[in-house]
Amino acid sequence: MLEKMKGFSIDQFIEEFQELTKDPETVQRETLKRILVDNGEAEYLQNLGLDGRTDPDSFKSCVPLVTHEELEPYISRIVDGSASRVLTGKPVTSISLSSGTTQGKPKFIPFNEDLVQSTMQIYKTSFVFRNRAYPLKNGKALQFIYSSKQFKTKGGLTATTATTNVYRSKQFKGTMKDIHSLCCSPDEVIFSPDYNQSLYCHLLCGLIYSEEVQLVSSTFAHSIVHAFRTFEQVWEELCDDIREGVLSSRITIPSIRAAVSKLMHPNPQLADTIYNKCVGLSGWYGVIPELWPNAKYVYGIMTGSMEPYLNKLRHYAGSLPLMSADYGSSEGWIGANIDPDVPPESVSFTVLPNIGFFEFIPVKERAEGEEKCGSLIQCREQEPIGLTEVKLGEEYEIVITTFAGLYRYRLGDILKVSGFHNSTPKLQFVRRKNLILTINIDKNTEKDLQLAVEEANKLLAAEKLEVMDFTSHVDVTSEPGHYVVFLELNGEAHEEVLRACSDCLDRAFVDAGYVSSRKVRAIAPLELRVVRQGTFHRILDHYLSLGGAMSQYKTPRCVSPVNGMVLQILNGNVMKSYFSSAYD
């Protein structure tokens, strides 16, 4: 397959990648020069006094560090159709929308063909190393990928999710044909306006081609877990469709019915095989290799907010390896996973030094006597350093400069340098920078919340229960305020177990500010609220109704007042509530 990719071989591609990573400092200087030359006429850069200079020192001295909030006025002008070259020299071809789960609304981000090119380079790079370890041979892929709704901005630009912008491009379709097995599902399923109908058809098409599937993937681990939780509910209906050769009446969109129906014919033998395999499974363990016996691995983004889904994903995958996809964001890509055998919890991403200009703000462990912030604090703001100046084992906040008009943009991710490929750093995702739970002097991150829920999940596992999903909230409607943790479970737990879970959650937040505040009652006892099954599915439906895409969805881990509708859904589905007695 790869030998056909734009006329060069897998060995040639690896050789070029090795050269790229041997002298990243030179590559970074050249990349920054290209960005500034291409965008030198942009109003934003013109006003900062670069005067045509393209060296890193001049760039850093003239261009400030920014967040998305500071760029919003410029992006708004682009969205509204400004005729000026606001942020880029080349035209902005469309607008990407972030998932919106953190801020309560999507961010608008400029998108152009340069971002498509960097996406394709990331995809090709990781595929080359993946395919060397787990070769795919002329098969198909069961890919749970979904587009999102699109709309026209005031200025006439198409606005949609970053993934959909990529899926729409000719480069994506050409590259996927070269580097991936063909997707089982026709385009009509991927670009469906109804993700529930898309998901059903993805599963059906995957079963029709069950012997040919070599890869099961989605953008995020959550999407794969969600797909197989759905499969548990609809598998018998899928068998009926295959047996009769007639698509379920639940599929009402004519274009999807027509496209999928072309793949179908009565196949009672396949239906019986699938039925018997499903009946024979114990708790759906290993359903993926059982139904798709030629699958080599399961692939998707599995770091950060996706880690809580890994246990369930391993349950469905059985003996198949889980492989984490590459590292990036709606704003742009950063690194590729070139170590396919490393488990997702330990995966590192090798920076591609030619797809953007990268800087790193040091984040240091607290010195003696300094206040703790989660497990780490950022001491007084230090100057960003370059890609080749980072040190092994140190943590940094990453700053990106892209070809699409983001200059010295603080992405908000904290990363650790875990090693080097040749002279290029390999980065591990640690956490998001923003503090999601804080009332007094307490400062707990998404990672701290995840670890707390994992501790509570151990108590539930002893009762053969599991946390299906979770989120949190800071309740300051009474004095003092307190943490609220919402859990959706896969069954009913005994009262004493849930009370023990509330105590466990409370004690699991080990931040010194939280512990001391709890002891002096400056923070009230943590509250565990158990919600009905399906609550987090309703939250997903809510975000998708706002124009998001299933393939880009991430459960919000802290629900603030700006997420009023989400908080309403959660509180409207609470079945039981328990306050911790951990510090009584």
Which range of residues forms the domain containing residue 342? 10-112+333-364+385-432
Do 24 and 157 lie in one domain? The reply is no
Do 184 and 271 lie in one domain? The reply is yes
In a domain, 221, yes or no: yes
* Structure-block tokens of residue 200: 């059903």
Last residue of a domain, one of 320, 349, 377: 320
Q: Tell me what pLDDT residue 105 has.
A: 66
Distance (Å, whole) CA 36 – CA 357: 11
In a domain, 82, yes or no: yes
Do 302 and 252 lie in one domain? The reply is yes
pTM value is 0.88
Distance (Å, whole) CA 59 – CA 36: 9
CB 331 within 8 A of CB 66: no
In a domain, 472, yes or no: yes
In a domain, 380, yes or no: no
In a domain, 456, yes or no: yes
- Which three-class secondary structure string do you get for 271-293? HHHHHHHHHHCCCCCCHHHHHCC
Q: Tell me what pLDDT residue 378 has.
A: 42
Last residue of a domain, one of 407, 432, 457: 432
Do 286 and 410 lie in one domain? The reply is no
Alpha helices per DSSP H over 23-158 = 24-38, 43-46, 56-62, 68-79, 113-133
Domain count, the chain: 3
Task: Pick left, alpha or beta for residue 135 (phi over 0 → left; psi -120 to 50 → alpha; otherwise beta).
Answer: beta
In a domain, 4, yes or no: no
Do 281 and 150 lie in one domain? The reply is yes
C-alpha distances in Å from residue 298, one per residue of 144, 183, 323: 11, 14, 6
* Structure-block tokens of residue 335: 């690194």
C-alpha distances in Å from residue 47, one per residue of 50, 86, 401, 567: 8, 10, 17, 43
Q: Tell me what pLDDT residue 178 has.
A: 55
Do 408 and 468 lie in one domain? The reply is no
In a domain, 85, yes or no: yes
Do 302 and 185 lie in one domain? The reply is yes
In a domain, 130, yes or no: no
Do 183 and 316 lie in one domain? The reply is yes
Do 237 and 257 lie in one domain? The reply is yes
Do 478 and 542 lie in one domain? The reply is yes
Nearest to 273 by CA among 320, 207, 214, 213: 207
Nearest to 548 by CA among 540, 556, 558: 540
Nearest to 106 by CA among 182, 159, 29: 159
Listed as ranges, residues in the chain with pLDDT below 50 are: 1-8, 366-379
Do 239 and 304 lie in one domain? The reply is yes
Long-range contacts of 2-8 (CB under 8 A, 24+ apart): 2/127, 2/128, 2/131, 2/178, 2/179, 4/178, 5/124, 5/175, 5/178, 5/179, 6/178
Q: Tell me what pLDDT residue 530 has.
A: 97
Do 155 and 243 lie in one domain? The reply is yes
Q: Is the dihedral of CA 514, 516, 520, 525 positive or negative?
A: positive
